[in-house]
Structure 1
Amino acid sequence: MALSSRLFSKSNKLVYASQVFLQKEHAIPVRHFAKGSAPPSLKGDEMLKSIFVELKNKFETAMGVLKKEKITIDPDDPAAVSQYANVMKTVRQKANLLSESQSIKGIIEMETQDIPDARTYLLTLQEIRIKDGLTDDLGAEAMMMEALDKVEKELKKPLLRDDKKGMDLLLAEFDKINQKLGIRKEDLPKLEDQLELKMAKAQLEELKKEALEAMETQSKREEFKGEEKADVKSLDVRNFI
């Protein structure tokens, strides 16, 4: 259920983001998302050094946050899950890492920036979805292609992304699709928050599993036999960083 909810949330954002970036005037420069790339003037060893230094700085920044923040390994406690999600959000912000929605927007922009027509754009979007492991349970792609067919039939020519009149017609059709699917722009931040909580819970579950396995392995060692196992929730992650 958690996975399906996550995919549904990501699908909603993918559908909406794709509709925004379909309009060329709303496209965001790729460099806005390529936060880990080196300046174009750097070459060879300088570029590698720049990338290494940036990654090193991001890692050290992330570790700095994790060493200060208390994380309770209790995926069944909503408060612990919320706290963990907030810590990871702080890590992303301070280390200048991309959020889930920013990653989606960045991928769409980089993959479609040079595509002139709407049909190739939508087909490329389908490829992005498949690569990202998402399923189109909403049936949004088929609906958008039907809308494009309708608009191109009315225009009597292929729709180009810089054709303002044609794009206005297509986006009006997309608005109808969004209404039918229950996708609203104002709901996207809430969906992202829900997704982050689900991801935080899943990560805490994995941490708990690894901690229990480590303690089980340790308990079998001669020097630890007879000792009572610690409660995972009492562990302070900061002591292991």
Structure 2
Amino acid sequence: MAMTSRFLSRSAPRQLYGGKAIMQPEQTILARSYAKEAAPKALKGDEMLKNIFLEVKNKFETAMGVLRKEKITIDPEDPAAVSQYANVMKTVRQKADLFSESQRIQYTIQSRTQNIPDARTYLLTLQEIRIKRGLTDDLGAEAMMMGALEKVEKELKKPLMRNDKKGMNLLMAEFDKVNQKLGIRKEELPKYEEQLEHKIAKAQLEELKKDALEAMETQKKREEFKDEEMPSVKSLDIRNFL
């Protein structure tokens, strides 16, 4: 077990705040919007930095408190282990007041697009966000959405601006048709978000497993560990290393 202890210093903390997963972009691009956070009160530089540090520190300590209590099995191939890990991370987010992945994407979309005046630039920005986050568009949703926009602009005989209520209503109607073709139902958005978090949980467990194996392989090359048998990754208890 000695050879496994260092992998958590590389892996566990970053799982609290990141990790890429493959998903369908229509599950986020066409998802419901989240309420815009209130603008923070203006603070002096030192006071602002102090508050930011304390907030991050408190969130981290809260998250680590949850991880010290919950058993995590590093077995990304076991659906039960993935579900358990997803539930643990959900508890971490709720208690530490952290965004879920879908909420982070929605916040990014909202902050990056709020001052964009036209629909075409808006859609292109969504595409840029998707690519930068390492998400895939396996169903071709973006091409269908752009096609819907071109149809509306052809009917209007001008570029569609986002403050054009009539034009935007036409576009939303076309987007509803896109959703229907893709089998996306607005009332099932919570299910799509849950599926996304499940995929992320699996991806993060795979990353933890990879890091653990790499750490054990590195340690095994050292003279004092050459005769030590490498344990199964899924037998490790992360709580012993926190």
Separation in 1, partners of 2:58, 2:217: 35
TM-score normalised by structure 2 residue count: 0.79
* Structure 2 counterpart of 1:184: 185
Separation in 2, partners of 1:227, 1:139: 50
Gaps of 5+ in 1: 1-5, 22-26
Please state how far the C-alpha of 1:41 moved relative to its aligned partner.
1.2
Separation in 1, partners of 2:158, 2:234: 63
Separation in 2, partners of 1:118, 1:92: 33
**Structure 1 residues 232 and 186, CA, compared in 2 at 3 Å: closer, same or farther?**
same
Alignment of 1:16 with 2:17, yes or no, is: no
Bigger fraction of residues in helix: 1
Q: Tell me, yes or no, if the aligned pair for 2:72 and 2:238 is still in contact at 8 Å.
A: yes
Pairs within 5 Å for 1:1-241:
6-9=21-24, 11-17=25-31, 28-29=35-36, 31=37, 39-219=40-220, 221=222, 223-224=224-225, 226-241=227-242
Deviations 1:97-119 (A, max 9, x none): 11111011111110111122222
Separation in 1, partners of 2:219, 2:106: 44
Aligned letter for 2:202?
K
TM-score normalised by structure 1 residue count: 0.79
Please state how far the C-alpha of 1:138 moved relative to its aligned partner.
2.6
Deviations 1:22-56 (A, max 9, x none): xxxxx742x26x9xxxx341121111111111111
The one of the two structures with greater contact order (alpha-carbon pairs below 8 A, sep at least 6) is: 2
Separation in 1, partners of 2:22, 2:145: 19
**Structure 1 residues 115 and 205, CA, compared in 2 at 3 Å: closer, same or farther?**
closer
Separation in 1, partners of 2:157, 2:216: 69
Identity %: 75
Q: Tell me, yes or no, if the aligned pair for 2:76 and 2:82 is still in contact at 8 Å.
A: yes
Separation in 2, partners of 1:117, 1:228: 62
SS state at 2:22 partner: helix
* Structure 1 counterpart of 2:4: none
Aligned length: 222
SS state at 1:68 partner: coil
